[in-house]
Amino acid sequence: MLGLEWSQAIELPRVAGFATRPAEIRRAWVHRAPEDHVLALFRASSGSGDPVPAPWWLRAMSAGKLDSRRDGFRIEDRIAQLLGPRPGWEYVPWAADGESGYWEFMPSENGKSGHAIPTTVLNTDRHTGWIDLLPAHSRTTPEPIAVAGLAGLRSRLGEFEAIR
């Protein structure tokens, strides 16, 4: 029953597929319910040791690395403010279950090297910069590049957009 309850807690509305930024998909229970309830249900659901689908910010909060859900939302929104107006960047809302979506640099798809998967920016709980970049690729997914927060993303955007 706990697994079913968690599945319903992270379920997004059908209209989320049309979102153009992360704020537009924050309609699931994990986004609206009291933070302490969300954290308690997440910890109970993941108590068996098996990973459960969850937003990056919730995993970071549970590990004591991020103070609040609002801090996670702020990070996502600042990335959206940076990438949204830039030509070629598109927000992809249909990420893995529970996740917050990601950004793709579309000109890198089928670029000079024939990449099938474009350069991708996604949030992570792997490190406290909270941002990973996956270079454009066509076969094996490369190791993510840890980005040093929003300032690191801003300073390296030209480099990342040149990956084709």
Whether 107 contacts 88, CB under 8 Å: yes
CA atoms within 13 A on the CB side of 122: 22
Structural domain tally of the chain?
1
pLDDT at position 157 is 95
- 3 state SS of 48: coil
| Average pLDDT score over the chain | 91
Integer Rg of the chain from CA: 16
pLDDT single digits (tens) 23-66: 999 989 999 999 999 999 999 999 877 889 999 999 999 999 99
Residues 36 and 39: their CA atoms lie apart, in Å, by 5
pLDDT digits (tens, 9 = 90+) for 136-164: 988 888 999 999 999 999 999 999 998 76
Q: Which of 12, 40, 44 is nearest to 26 (CA)?
A: 12
pLDDT digits (tens, 9 = 90+) for 65-112: 999 999 999 999 999 999 999 999 999 998 777 888 999 999 987 755
Quote the pLDDT of residue 139. 82
Task: Quote the pTM value.
Answer: 0.91
Sheet of strand 89-92, all strands in order from the earlier edge strand to the far edge: 89-92, 102-105, 119-123, 131-134, 145-147
**What is residue 122's predicted lDDT score, i.e. its pLDDT?**
95
**123 close to 131: Cβ distance less than 8 angstroms:** yes
pLDDT at residue 58, rounded to an integer: 97
Q: Is the pLDDT of residue 11 over 60?
A: yes
> Does the pLDDT at position 115 exceed 80?
no
In the chain, the amino acid numbered 93 is: P
Q: Which domain holds residue 122?
A: 2-161
- Structure tokens given for 40: 């308690």
